[in-house]
Amino acid sequence: MKAAIRVETIKLVRSPVGMIGSLALILGTLALLAGITAALAAGDPALTAKAGIAAALDWGGLLTAAAQIASAGGLLGFGVVLSWIFAREFSDGTITGLFALPITRARIALAKLTVYAAWSVAISVALALGTLVLGLTLGYGWPSPDVWAAFGRQVVLGVLTAVVATPVAWIASIARSLLAAVGGAIALVVIAQVGVLAGAGGWMPLAAPALWAISNGTGADPVQLSLTLALGVILGVLTCTSWARLQLNR
Amino acid sequence: MLDFDDVTVRFPGGAGVEHLTFRVAPGEIVALIGLNGAGKTTLMRLALGMLRPREGTVRVFDRPLTTLPSASWAAVGALIEVPLAYPELTVRENLHIACLLHGADPRRLVLDSLEAWRLQGVADRRFRRLSLGNRQRTGLAAALQHDPDLIVLDEPSNSLDPASVIMLRDQLTRRAEHGAAILVSSHHLDEVARIADRVLLMNAGRLIGELDSTGTDLEHAFFERIRQDDELRAATEGVPL
């Protein structure tokens, strides 16, 4: 298992997809936050009306905007990278080399999920640190205890957003297609947004982490958040099982 | 080392292989020859657990694949269709991860492998930037560097220049002398097939016998056997020629 984790780490770290995905999630989010802040500071009335509580030019507004971006853009970014991690073996044809090894394919799939999880934690922490630097640069002052708590929720939101994306690993494995998996990532974003608009609220596992982070922890309770974790575990098990049973019969 | 006992698998649409029975013993090189679409790759996929037979049993190291401990695969080296190599990694990195995946220690093996397959000049070049021949040599190095006891190679001489074919031939001969069982496929009687102890003929998803590799004009003999089998199937099964 250790060897499989090392191999998957090398592949992600050395790949353009891993690099571009990381930069898009961190620098893309920060650039968007800076742009939104600049537009709000300039008094753009349309944006101010749309931004709602994120329109405030303080830590609260900045972190709310960061959470909103993470819930949609972050989900898409995590989903695309996870799609590639699994689907590339089929599109590159390297799946044939992952048979007849002393490491079972279920463990290889688990190693992929483990490396993805570690990467998502690193991205979430880096994004929170970047947001902290941005807020300090904007002159919001040293964060109060409440703001630090919001930063904690921001990191948890990033990781749970990565968990929300786990269905694409299963889709990539079943469909053996990168496009199908990326399509699945887009579908997750749409389902989460529509679910919130339809009033599913915290009981929608795809949207619960974002609602929780945006509402200062009141929009979803621990039981509802645990449904998101359960979704990740179930899809992780399904993905590993599909790799264990995989046959190259098509 | 590798045994097929009346193995059959069929794909939706009717293609597949049927009633395959043969054995590859330790120290033996067996060549599998057949035209494109004869079922050679399907047979090799069955040997490596990429496909499960509908009927019959595949055994590796005298154990059915269904009960073979995963650790046993550490003694198998295979190259089927696409090398186990990732485009964004260098040749050296690819050989490194191939060692890790086969449960071998990369520290010494990678250097030896680069030298054995004369890949030192491109060791730090990304796989995607290699010529087809160098890609194939990297794939062969990744499949063989952990010194496997059972070797399964699908058309291994594809894209290789004559010098590399000789290199491959020498590698396989030496490994067979040290007791490895080797199965290689080809769609023609190439230089690798000619070093085989036995040549199995495959046509339309079935093994149709062996070819005497000591005879003269082997290509003619090969095509004649294929033609005879096609005619026999046309007469007995109504398969159009």
For A:116-155, CB contacts with B below 8 A are none
Give the mean model confidence (pLDDT) for residues A127-147.
90
Q: How many other C-beta atoms lie within 10 A of the C-beta of residue B66?
A: 11
Enter the pTM of the model.
0.91
Whether the Cβ atoms of residue A185 and residue A165 lie closer than 8 Å to each other: yes
B102–A14 CB contact, under 8 Å: no
pLDDT at A52 exceeding the cut of 70 = no
Chain A residues closer than 8 Å to B72 by CB: 102
Domain range enclosing B22: 2-237
Q: Do B93 and A97 touch (CB under 8 A)?
A: no
Residues of chain A with pLDDT > 90: what percent?
A: 60
What is the reported pLDDT for A49?
A: 66
Q: What is the mean pLDDT of residues A70-89?
A: 92
What average pLDDT score do residues B100-127 get? 93
**Into how many domains does chain B fold?**
1
- CB distance from B92 to chain A under 8 Å? no
- For residues B56-64, average pLDDT: 95
Partners of B85 on chain A (C-beta within 8 Å) are: 94, 97
Contact A100 B48 (CB under 8 A): yes
Given this model, what pLDDT does residue A193 score?
83
Residues 6+ positions from B17 with CB-CB distance below 8 Å: B7, B8, B9, B39, B42, B43, B46, B205, B206
Closest CA to A1 of A102, A71, A87: A102
| Pairing label, strands B181-186, B150-154 | parallel
Number of H helices, E strands in chain B: 6, 10
Assess whether pLDDT exceeds 80 at residue B215. Answer: no
Q: Report ipTM for this prediction.
A: 0.89
Q: What pLDDT, in 10s, does the model give residues B138-165? A: 999 999 999 999 999 999 988 888 888 9
* Sequence letter at residue A39: A
- CA A11 – CA A92 distance, rounded (Å): 13
- pLDDT at B190 (0 to 100): 67
- As a whole-number percent, the residues of chain A with pLDDT over 70 amount to 96
Q: Given CB atoms, is B14 within the 8 Å cutoff of chain A?
A: no
pLDDT score of A89: 95
**Stretch A161-189: mean pLDDT:** 94
pLDDT tens-digit readout, A102-113: 999 999 999 999
Using pLDDT thresholds of 50, 70 and 90, give the confidence band for residue B222. Answer: confident
Q: Rounded distance, CA B174 to CA B163, Å?
A: 17
Q: Give the CATH number for residue B89.
A: 3.40.50.300
Q: Supply the pLDDT for residue B232.
A: 85
Strand order in the sheet with B63-64: B16-24, B2-10, B55-60, B63-64
pLDDT digits (tens, 9 = 90+) for B162-211: 888 989 999 999 999 999 999 999 877 767 667 888 999 999 899 998 88
> What's the CA gap between B94 and B38, in Å, rounded?
32
Q: Look at residue B192 in the predicted model and tell me its pLDDT.
A: 67
Q: Do B6 and B55 contact (CB within 8 A), yes or no? A: yes
| Long-range pairs for A132-139: beta carbons < 8 A, 24 or more residues apart | A134/A30, A134/A33, A134/A34, A134/A37, A134/A62, A135/A59, A135/A62, A138/A37, A138/A57, A138/A62
Contact A100 B142 (CB under 8 A): no
Of the candidates B146, B154, B135, which has an alpha carbon nearest to the alpha carbon of residue B76? B146
Size of interface A-B (CB pairs under 8 A): 87
pLDDT at A122 > cutoff 90: yes
Residue written as token pair 């989900």: A75
Whether residue A47 has pLDDT greater than 70:
no
Q: What is the mean pLDDT of residues A154-179?
A: 94
Q: Name which of A11, A96, A103 is nearest B82 (Cβ-Cβ).
A: A96
Please say if the pLDDT value at position A230 is more than 80.
yes
pLDDT at A77: 93
What are the contacts of B60-67 at 24+ separation with CB within 8 A? B60/B1, B60/B2, B60/B3, B60/B150, B61/B1, B61/B149, B61/B150, B62/B3
Interface test with B, best of A103, A107, A245 (most B CBs within 10 A): A103
